[in-house]
């Protein structure tokens, strides 16, 4: 005969959830009542024999959480940490589920082998609550058993679940209760300091849990910490977070736990009778409504983009004027008619390059402001919730949607924004396709091409189509990536629904600024450097003076460019670009666009020998150039509308700009992924444009 296998099980649960009833149901008369060491809190232990197991059950004090505020909660949590029971059973009052699951989130945070008993399931049924137990169990990463304690229902199912969990042993959970980007960043920082300075505590409690408790100002854990570094780190993190949230970190973290629960319940519990009351729930009833949710979301996003561009036009105009003035002022430092390289470098290279990018800053800041507003108020979580069902179909998490949305502004902060995805596969897949979202810089290219080649009434639809093509391609790429390099199951995640909050201006501005700063830095460093390199490549080697004699300034500029490194490169790749309908001039501009997509427009102006003053006239196309033609007229004269469309298509898909490549490298911590993205997208662009051009040429004869 086998020896009985012994396991220890702790019963946790809110007061009145039916813990004692379940305890009695399992142990019958085999009970022993004592006290927890040092305190007069009753400790009941009992024995239960089942199959070939001898199960020792311990009835923990009833608690709502596992803080250090009350003796009961401390006892419960110390028992779990010190005695390491094989399984913790959380008795949940299923008729009052959201409140009861709070304790469960804390047990999940402690990473204990957990079984959930949904007790009072008879009462829950009377209340009209319908559970999708399987899905909820996947989301919480713990088996769930329905019980009716006072009727003895669910006993064997509960015991089977206990044994299965005990046999499985301690495994790492697939997911955890996330605390949001800012808090997660601080937690990660604290974890590092804790791991370095408090080895014993880190071994016993785990760094993550310690970091959470320290941020929550848990007095019991704080008293155990000796290292001043740790205390200092916690203090500075906590000050930082207070500045952002205007609230104690522990309150924000508790809000996150409720958000986690709320999200999990929204997805898995249906109520046949109306019983939700809080303001948050009432807003959610409309905002994430099955039919209304998506239209509301689309309208909000449309408004966000519309306002961004409408309001942004004014400061953009001022900045354009400012840079125009600056270029003129700098140029005037040299005597009229002189041909100084330094002047050209400063005016055309530096001011033209960096200024061309900086004029979009107001637009981008506004977009980030709106996005931060949506995020901080809690709406973005709802947007992710709505998108989750759709995103799941293509193998991603609803949250991936947020960085993609930011991608319509600029890929650089968008790739950074992908940090909200905890799962590496999801995060990398998202990062890879973000450049397919038409960013603000690509928008300038569309604004040049569309009016040149499409009749008025087609402007809107053409723009819409090109954005849509990006999205559709992104979906196809995600599918492909998930089938190949990022193969693997998508684990179901809880879509958190944190309570709605009034966003603080300070926090919204911090968010806006952090992302805006990334953009500014890109302009100040990478784009500055590339602008200078491009300028050199465009200016040297110089043709001989005789070859320029008798030419207009514009024609001379064109000859110089043809003679330069870039012009030659453009010509060298011309054979490869022919099948796409591009000539060397477009090739030259495409090379320039690698620095920043905006550069495409100014490069194209130069190769077509359009005076620099008309080149900037992207908005007012009909403005008569001094005797010459505007860039749009030149384009119309030289290319077909099919080529025009192919230019947009290629610019949309190909070669993410250097700033994007740099950011991908930073966020994936690998050059291979950055290069994979760069060459993969370029190859895709080539293939798609090739097909469109060839098929298009056939059809159009
Ligand atoms: P504890 O505070 O968690 O130990 O809760 P108790 O075990 O003392 O139970 C509180 C009350 O709920 C008692 O009156 C039980 O009879 C009742 N109870 C326990 N389980 C159930 C159940 O599944 N359904 C119903 N309707 N009542 C239950
Ligand atoms: Mg009791």
Question: For residue 537, is pLDDT > 70?
Answer: yes
CA of 63 to the centre of ligand 2 (A): 10
CA of 530 to the centre of ligand 1 (A): 71
Residue 215: predicted pLDDT? 94
Half-sphere exposure (Cβ direction) of 88: Cα atoms closer than 13 Å:
27
Residue 239: predicted pLDDT? 93
Ligand 1 pocket member 15 (CB < 6 A): yes
Q: What does the alpha-carbon distance between residue 75 and residue 10 come to, in Å, rounded to a whole number? A: 12
Tokens of residue 640, six digits: 């077909």
Q: What does the alpha-carbon distance between residue 354 and residue 531 come to, in Å, rounded to a whole number? A: 7
Ligand 1 pocket member 229 (CB < 6 A): no
CA of 15 to the centre of ligand 1 (A): 9
What tens digit of pLDDT does each residue of 241-284 get? Answer: 998 888 888 888 988 898 899 888 888 888 765 555 567 777 88
Count the neighbouring beta carbons within 10 Å of the beta carbon of residue 447. 16
Q: What does the alpha-carbon distance between residue 138 and residue 658 come to, in Å, rounded to a whole number? A: 41
Ligand nearest to the backbone CA of 100: 1
Which is the closest atom of ligand 1 to the Cα of 121? 23
Q: Name which of 378, 321, 660 is nearest 498 in CA terms.
A: 378
Torsion of CA 511, 513, 515, 516, to 10 degrees: 150
Ligand 1 pocket member 119 (CB < 6 A): yes
Ligand nearest to the backbone CA of 15: 1
Residue 612: predicted pLDDT? 45
Ligand 1 pocket member 20 (CB < 6 A): yes
Mean pLDDT, to the nearest integer, of 133-144? Answer: 92
CA of 48 to the centre of ligand 1 (A): 20
Domain ranges of the chain: 3-168, 181-275, 300-700
Look up the pTM and report it.
0.65
Q: What does the alpha-carbon distance between residue 353 and residue 595 come to, in Å, rounded to a whole number? A: 10
Ligand nearest to the backbone CA of 12: 1
Ligand 1 pocket member 187 (CB < 6 A): no
Which is the closest atom of ligand 1 to the Cα of 123? 26
Ligand 1 pocket member 21 (CB < 6 A): yes
Residue 538: predicted pLDDT? 79
Which of the four pLDDT bands, split at 50, 70 and 90, describes residue 40?
Answer: low
CA of 108 to the centre of ligand 1 (A): 24
Residue 366: predicted pLDDT? 83
Ligand 1 pocket member 16 (CB < 6 A): yes
Question: Which residue, by CA, sits nearest to atom 12 of ligand 1?
Answer: 18
Ligand nearest to the backbone CA of 18: 1
Q: Are 528 and 354 in contact (CB under 8 A)?
A: yes
Mean pLDDT, to the nearest integer, of 499-517? Answer: 80
Q: Does domain 181-275 have CATH number 1.10.287.1770?
A: yes
Question: For residue 70, is pLDDT > 90?
Answer: no
Q: Name which of 367, 490, 500, 372 is nearest 437 in CA terms.
A: 367
Residue 70: is the preceding peptide bond cis (ω within 30°)?
Answer: no
Question: For residue 628, is pLDDT > 70?
Answer: no
Q: What does the alpha-carbon distance between residue 335 and residue 349 come to, in Å, rounded to a whole number? A: 19
CA of 96 to the centre of ligand 1 (A): 13
Question: Which residue, by CA, sits nearest to atom 19 of ligand 1?
Answer: 18
Which of the four pLDDT bands, split at 50, 70 and 90, describes residue 170?
Answer: low
| Range among 32-36, 97-101, 334-338, 631-635 with highest mean pLDDT value | 97-101
Residue 507: predicted pLDDT? 79
Residue 216: predicted pLDDT? 92
Return the best residue to mutate from 11, 17, 18 for the ligand 1 pocket (most ligand atoms within 8 A of CB): 18
Backbone angles phi, psi at 146, to 5 degrees: -85, 135
Which is the closest atom of ligand 1 to the Cα of 24? 7
CA of 13 to the centre of ligand 2 (A): 9
What tens digit of pLDDT does each residue of 551-599 get? Answer: 777 777 778 778 888 888 888 999 999 999 999 889 988 888 887 787 7
Residue 627: predicted pLDDT? 39
Q: What does the alpha-carbon distance between residue 386 and residue 371 come to, in Å, rounded to a whole number? A: 16
CA distances, 174 to each of 24, 184, 464, 494 (Å):
33, 17, 39, 11
Return the best residue to mutate from 21, 33, 125 for the ligand 1 pocket (most ligand atoms within 8 A of CB): 21
Ligand 1 pocket member 105 (CB < 6 A): no
Residue 624: predicted pLDDT? 38
Which is the closest atom of ligand 1 to the Cα of 17? 3
Question: Which residue, by CA, sits nearest to atom 28 of ligand 1?
Answer: 150
Question: For residue 44, is pLDDT > 90?
Answer: no
Q: What does the alpha-carbon distance between residue 124 and residue 289 come to, in Å, rounded to a whole number? A: 23
CA of 19 to the centre of ligand 1 (A): 7
Ligand nearest to the backbone CA of 148: 1
Q: What does the alpha-carbon distance between residue 442 and residue 249 come to, in Å, rounded to a whole number? A: 40
Q: Are 423 and 381 in contact (CB under 8 A)?
A: no
Residue 541: is the preceding peptide bond cis (ω within 30°)?
Answer: yes
Residue 469: predicted pLDDT? 92
CA of 59 to the centre of ligand 1 (A): 14
Ligand 1 pocket member 17 (CB < 6 A): yes
Question: Which residue, by CA, sits nearest to atom 20 of ligand 1?
Answer: 149
CA 213, 218, 224, 230 torsion-angle sign? positive
Question: For residue 189, is pLDDT > 70?
Answer: yes
What tens digit of pLDDT does each residue of 314-349 get? Answer: 887 888 888 888 888 888 887 766 667 787 788 777
Ligand 1 pocket member 123 (CB < 6 A): yes
Q: Which fold is adopted by the domain 3-168?
A: Rossmann fold (3.40.50)
Which is the closest atom of ligand 1 to the Cα of 23? 7
CA of 62 to the centre of ligand 2 (A): 7
Which of the four pLDDT bands, split at 50, 70 and 90, describes residue 207?
Answer: very high
């Amino acid at each position: 005969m086998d020896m009985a296998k012994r396991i220890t099980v702790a019963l946790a649960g809110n007061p009145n959830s039916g813990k004692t009833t379940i305890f009695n149901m399992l142990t019958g008369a085999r009970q022993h009542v004592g006290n927890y060491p040092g305190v007069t809190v009753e400790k009941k232990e009992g024995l239960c024999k089942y199959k070939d197991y001898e199960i020792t059950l311990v009835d923990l004090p009833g608690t709502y959480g596992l803080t250090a505020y009350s003796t009961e909660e401390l006892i419960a949590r110390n028992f779990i940490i010190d005695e390491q029971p094989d399984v913790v059973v959380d008795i949940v009052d299923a008729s009052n589920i959201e409140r009861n699951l709070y304790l469960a989130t804390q047990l999940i945070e402690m990473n204990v082998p957990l079984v959930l008993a949904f007790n009072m399931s008879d009462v829950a049924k009377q209340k009209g609550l319908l559970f999708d137990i399987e899905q909820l169990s996947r989301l919480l990463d713990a088996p769930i058993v329905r019980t009716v304690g006072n009727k003895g229902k669910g006993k064997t199912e509960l015991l089977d679940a206990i044994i299965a969990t005990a046999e499985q042993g301690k495994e790492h959970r697939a997911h955890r209760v996330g605390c949001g980007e800012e808090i997660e960043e601080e937690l990660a920082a604290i974890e590092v300091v804790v791991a370095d300075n408090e080895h014993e505590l880190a071994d016993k409690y785990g760094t993550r849990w310690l970091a959470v408790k320290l941020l929550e100002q848990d007095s019991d854990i704080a008293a155990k910490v000796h290292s001043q570094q740790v205390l200092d780190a916690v203090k500075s993190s906590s000050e930082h977070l207070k500045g952002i949230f205007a609230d104690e970190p522990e309150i924000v973290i508790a809000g996150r736990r409720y958000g986690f629960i709320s999200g999990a319940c929204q997805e898995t519990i249906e109520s046949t009778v109306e019983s939700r009351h809080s303001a948050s729930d009432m807003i959610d009833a409309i905002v994430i409504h099955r039919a209304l949710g998506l239209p509301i979301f689309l309208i909000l996003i449309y408004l966000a983009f519309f306002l961004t561009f409408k309001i942004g036009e004014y400061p953009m105009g001022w900045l354009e004027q400012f840079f125009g003035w600056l270029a003129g002022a700098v140029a005037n430092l040299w005597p009229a008619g002189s041909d100084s390289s330094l002047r050209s470098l400063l005016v055309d290279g530096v001011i033209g390059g960096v200024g061309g990018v900086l004029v979009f800053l107001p637009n981008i800041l506004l977009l980030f402001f709106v996005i931060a507003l949506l995020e901080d108020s809690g709406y973005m979580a709802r947007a992710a919730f709505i998108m989750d069902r759709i995103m799941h179909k293509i193998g991603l998490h609803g949250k991936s949607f947020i960085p993609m949305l930011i991608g319509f502004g600029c890929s650089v902060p968008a790739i950074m924004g992908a940090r909200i995805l905890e799962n590496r596969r999801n995060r990398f897949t998202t990062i890879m396709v973000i450049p397919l979202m038409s960013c603000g810089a690509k928008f300038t290219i569309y604004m040049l091409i569309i009016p040149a080649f499409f009749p008025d009434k087609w402007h809107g639809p053409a723009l819409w189509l090109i954005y849509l093509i990006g999205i559709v391609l992104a979906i196809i790429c995600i599918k492909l990536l998930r089938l190949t390099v990022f193969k693997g199951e998508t684990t179901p995640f809880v879509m958190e629904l944190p309570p709605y909050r009034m966003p603080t201006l300070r926090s919204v501005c911090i968010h806006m600024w952090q992302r805006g700063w990334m953009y500014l830095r890109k302009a100040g460093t990478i784009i500055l450097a590339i602008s200078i390199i491009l300028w050199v490549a465009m200016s040297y080697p110089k043709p001989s003076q005789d070859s320029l004699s008798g030419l207009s300034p514009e024609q001379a500029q064109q000859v110089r460019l043809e003679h330069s490194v870039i012009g030659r490169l453009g010509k060298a790749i011309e054979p490869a670009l022919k099948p796409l309908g591009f000539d060397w001039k477009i090739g030259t501009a495409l090379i320039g666009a690698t620095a920043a997509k905006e550069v495409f427009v100014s490069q194209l102006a130069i190769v077509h020998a359009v005076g620099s003053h008309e080149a900037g006239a992207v908005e007012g196309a009909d403005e008569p150039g001094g005797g010459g033609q505007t860039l749009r007229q030149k384009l119309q004269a030289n290319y077909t509308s099919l080529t025009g469309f192919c230019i947009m298509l290629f610019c949309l898909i190909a070669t993410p700009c250097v700033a994007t490549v740099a950011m991908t490298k930073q966020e994936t911590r690998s050059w291979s992924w950055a290069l994979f993205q760069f060459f993969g997208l370029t190859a895709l662009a080539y293939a798609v444009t090739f097909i469109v051009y060839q098929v298009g040429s056939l059809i159009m004869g």
